[in-house]
Structure 1
Amino acid sequence: MANSTLDVQVLQASVDPDDESHFRILVGGKFIRYLTVDTGLYNLDDMCFAPSLVPLLPPLPPGDWNVGHISKDPTHGRPYFATATKNPLQNITHIWHPSQIDYLELKMGRKLRSNVYEATSPRFNSTIIAKFARFSWEIPYLDSETAAYEWIDGHQIGPEFLGHLTEEGRVIGFLIERVFDCRHATPEDLSLCQHTLAKLHKLGIKHGDTNKHNFLIRNGKATLIDFDSAERCENLKHLGEELQMLEQQLWDDSGRGGSIVG
């Protein structure tokens, strides 16, 4: 198969100059595959810029595979596929919503974080948010967050959960509503944030990361996001400490937890 930009599209990359780098690619517009590239094979700038990297890749192996490893060929020193295998890939196991949407049904838009994108789909009337595991090590965080969205479902604490995001049948993430015309919280929004956080605590849930970027303010209401650190908690002392620390979090100007909000 020729490595033209029509055949291979780099969807996501995790580039490490000192270790293996990882890529999630789309082949022929239909098949998602995962590549591991040994360190030192390609220039760092090329690996960070898909149009430069794709022509440098060795020919893709034929057959049905989903995980490939590119190494240096011991005979001539050029990159080659040392392995290309069909492996069972890790998936989110906490499945509770009736809707499942395939990744390839979405048209991805603006990237908000490394694994968070605006997206559109014929199934929805407006822009939505897709959050998913790009690589296997992100699955546990997304699994925990998926469970947390079930805990808060119907309580108007976070964005509406719209369904599970799948890739070739396995669940890799979820879709939530896009909160439009919002902004991040400021110290002046303390009472709004306290109200929403108290609702979460009433359910016996500790958020675990109440930085100001995880509160979206719109129409006099605070909406919580990013529940990957959330956990069941019946310890009133721990819940009270999280609520007590909220004001300090809203004053924090370090940029911790920062993200793009339109």
Structure 2
Amino acid sequence: MPGTVPDIQVLQASVDPEDQSEFRILVDRKFVKYLTIDPGLYNVGDMCFGPSLISMLPPLPPGDWNKGHISHNTPHGRPHFAGVTKAQLPGVTNLWHPLQIAHLELHMGQKLRSNVYEATCPRFNSTIIAKFARFAWETPQLDAETSAYQRIENHQIGPKFLGHLSEEGRVIGFIIERITDCRHATAEDLSLCQLTLSRLHKLGIKHGDINKHNFLIHDGKATLIDFDNSTRYNDAKTLDEEFRGLQEELRDTSGRGGRIVESDAA
């Protein structure tokens, strides 16, 4: 109906007071749109709180679009949509798993990192983990990590890969099993972590970030997570360097690599 106010929900935000800020929003519980907002238009605190941002946005332009740019309206100095486009957004290309689940099927729970959430879905009986590209520039990492999960499938290295996560036809990430009753590794878990890391190295893969928070200890074994920095290597020396650095990583007390929840508008 003309004049109907759309239902807007801020899903994710990347707020930068000095540069453009980016937002992923859901309109009428169906359509995802990406907004870029020029610096200086809104208070940072307001942009970090979804309801405040929504109340200040200029009216959404009509039509079929998925990317919008909000800038100053020169004559009046008020924010306005300088332009909208229907863009072909990048997606994960290695679709090796048979299951694909739309993001709207998930109910997002606790945020573990800026792009990692606990979630529930009617297709699964327990809580799962969803990891996805919030914005286009994160897609290459998710594509690489998806490929890493294909290579480690059935090798007792990482969590079980449950399927690809899609948004309006394109794949933006994946879902994996949630490891329960686990803890992060300590120096005392060196042998368990070495066993898992050696399995990865036998496949010719360097993990790239073996901090202790990326080893989950449970059921008498270590499970590796976060393969977004992994790379394939035929060079035994490179893999051996990572293996020899594991003990020091497990002794680290800096907190590096721990759970980080960024300030989002969601």
TM-score, normalising length from structure 2? 0.95
Distance 1:127 1:3, change over 3 A: farther
Percent sequence identity over matched residues?
69
Partner of 1:236: 236
Whether 1:121 aligns to 2:121 is yes
Partners in 1 of 2:86 and 2:238 — Cα distance? 45
Report the 3-state secondary structure (helix = DSSP H, G, I; strand = E; otherwise coil) of the residue aligned with 2:18.
coil
Over 3 Å counting, the alpha-carbon distance change for 1:222 and 1:2 in structure 2 is: farther
Say if 2:164 is the partner of 1:164.
yes
Aligned pairs for 1:1-262 within 5 A: 7-259=7-259
Give me the CA root mean square deviation.
Answer: 1.3
- Structure 1 residue 177 displacement after superposition: 0.2
Output the CA distance in 1 between the equivalents of 2:112 and 2:3.
32
CA distance in 2 between partners of 1:191 and 1:243 (Å): 11
Q: 1:2 to 1:108 in 2, by over 3 A?
A: farther
Deviation at 1:182, TM superposition (A): 0.5
Q: SS in structure 1 opposite 2:123?
A: coil
User: Following the alignment from structure 2 to structure 1, what is the Cα–Cα distance between the partners of residues 150 and 188?
Assistant: 30
Task: Tell me if the contact between 1:185 and 1:213 (Cα under 8 Å) persists in the aligned partners.
Answer: yes
Paired with 2:85 and 2:204, the residues of 1 have a C-alpha distance of 44
- The residue type paired with residue 231 of structure 2 is E
Describe the superposition over 1:90-119 as per-residue Cα deviations: whole angstroms up to 9, x where unpaired. 111111000000001100000000000001
Whether the 8 Å CA contact 1:3–1:54 is kept in 2: the answer is no
Higher relative contact order (CA 8 A, sep 6+): 2
Instruction: Tell me the secondary structure at the aligned position of residue 124 of structure 1.
Output: coil
Q: CA deviation at 1:235?
A: 1.0
The gaps in structure 1 that reach 5 residues or longer are none
Shift of 1:210: 0.3
Structure 1 runs (4+) greater than 2 angstroms displaced: 1-4
| Amino acid across the alignment from 1:27 | V
Give the CA deviation at 1:2. 7.2
Q: In structure 2, what is the Cα distance between the partners aligned to 1:52 and 1:117?
A: 23
Tell me how far 1:3 sits from its aligned partner: 9.4
- Contact map agreement 1:24 1:134 (CA 8 A) in 2: yes
Distance 2:92 2:230 in 1: 16
Counterpart-to-counterpart distance in 1, 2:79 and 2:211? 44
Q: Deviations over 1:176-206 (max 9, x none)?
A: 0000011100001000000000111111111
Letter paired with 1:214: N
Superposition deviation, residue 51 in structure 1: 1.2
State the shift of 1:250 in Å. 0.5
> Following the alignment from structure 1 to structure 2, what is the Cα–Cα distance between the partners of residues 84 and 238?
47
Aligned letter for 1:75? P
> d(CA) in 2 for partners of 1:218 and 1:2?
55
Residue type of the partner of 2:250?
L
> 1:142 touches 1:228 (CA, 8 Å); kept in 2?
yes
* CA distance, structure 1, for counterparts of residue 253 and residue 171 of structure 2: 36
Q: 1:3 to 1:70 in 2, by over 3 A?
A: farther
- Which secondary structure state, in structure 2, belongs to the residue aligned with residue 18 of structure 1? coil
Spell out, residue by residue over 1:54-75, the C-alpha distance to the aligned partner (whole angstroms, 9 max, x if none).
0100000001000000000011
